[in-house]
Structure 1
Amino acid sequence: MTLNCIAVDDEPLALGLVGAFIEKTPFLKLTGRYSSAVAALQALITTPVDLIFLDIQMPDLTGLELARVLERSQRGNHVTRIIFTTAFDQFALDGFRVDALDYLLKPFNYEEFLRAANKARQYFELIHRSEPLPVAPLPAAPAEASDDYLFLKVEYQLVRVAYQDILYIEGLKDYVKVYRQSDPTKPLLSLTSLKSLEEKLPTQKFMRVHRSFIVALDRIDAVSRNTVQIGAVTIPVSDQYKDTFSQFIQRWL
């Protein structure tokens, strides 16, 4: 797989270095170098690319502003992803919020660049493999067939998480924590809402029992009127979800 890339930086030396690193990497193809985010945006209107190596601090339009524009204007099935290149580490969280794949802190060497580029390659390979292939309908195909995993954005990686590995999910203000059987003491932290994640989960396997918790039904060890027990963890059931939860309890009786 070859990824079409552009480099955007208002510093000529930095722009030249990133361009040289791209040309040195076999699975990357440099299609343009731009000294401003405005020029890059004009080019992207007619010629989308897979990956942008993007500086943040630039006049007229910053890299973060360009990232937000692109996020709102993705066309069709084409996906453009960003790797930020900056001398300022205070923008790391902002980069995460605009769905950047990685964050290279200047000055960086080719080994660090290649590590970030490989993350991008792995991301696009995962996306490519997860796209449904056109097939002729089969009469014997099960009507309820579905995937048994989801992808979570964790730091700057796309992580595949099997449904059967999930114990429960806790919602925070801007994040969710996904607790897993395979590593219960180290939850996966992902920048998404609990509601958004709830919509992706199969209802036959997961239930929301509280404004801050979703539980895996087959991981429940014990229930009471107001709580769910999963291992050593007690999770409250709020009034808003008691009716649905009561229907579930009937299966235990």
Structure 2
Amino acid sequence: MEQLKCIIVEDEPIAAEILENYIARVPFLSLIDKVTDAIYALELLQKIPVDVMFLDIHLPGLKGLDLLKILRKHPQVILTTAYREYALEGYDLNVVDYLLKPIQFNRFLAAVNKLTIPPVKPVVANTEEKEQPLRRHIFVNINKKNIRIHLDEIIYIESQREYIRIITDKQAYLVKYQLADFEVLLGTADFIRVHRSFIVSKARVRAYTATEIDVEAGSIPIGRNFKELVFKALESPIS
């Protein structure tokens, strides 16, 4: 998954700082600049390629919605505001989502997961060779370094209070993240929440009973509240 280049257009320093912090926590987002009004944003959009714009509606001078109206083509836009009444007009301007201040991280995650990430074709040195599909991956921040983890290498993820432990074929990674937020990043196609403290790769399930799932790295308990979802996902209910 490639990173989307983002800008923040926000005149409130605290609100801008919150968005900057949230963007830094999402592996597929990369902040390239932040500005305090729509005129600066217009200049910036003319100079550099931007994939996503986090745009405040109430800006000094030119308002956020007015900026969208004068742009012939704009990047994907997520609106931010303290006022609900502008939501409908925003969607009429083809925005991705509408975040109401104060913005919570789980709501932010839900919004950015609606963004369209363009596919990237792998570069092949020899044109006679078949193109290899790009492996799905995420980046996690460990000791201020973004480390790539391929999703097909993940066996399971375990919650450890404010951290999660990611168990892969190669090694384990301890990352400061909430399990619920990480679950949103992973998606539900290849992974399943089996317990309040565990997420498991569906492809790594060797066997399961009414109380636990066996994977290469050991046995994972199935939480009582997760049984129905687990059995449905694995397409073989247990009586």
TM-score if structure 1 supplies the norm length? Answer: 0.45
Structure exhibiting the larger radius of gyration computed from Cα positions:
1
Q: Which has the larger share of helix? A: 1
Q: TM-score, normalised by structure 2?
A: 0.48
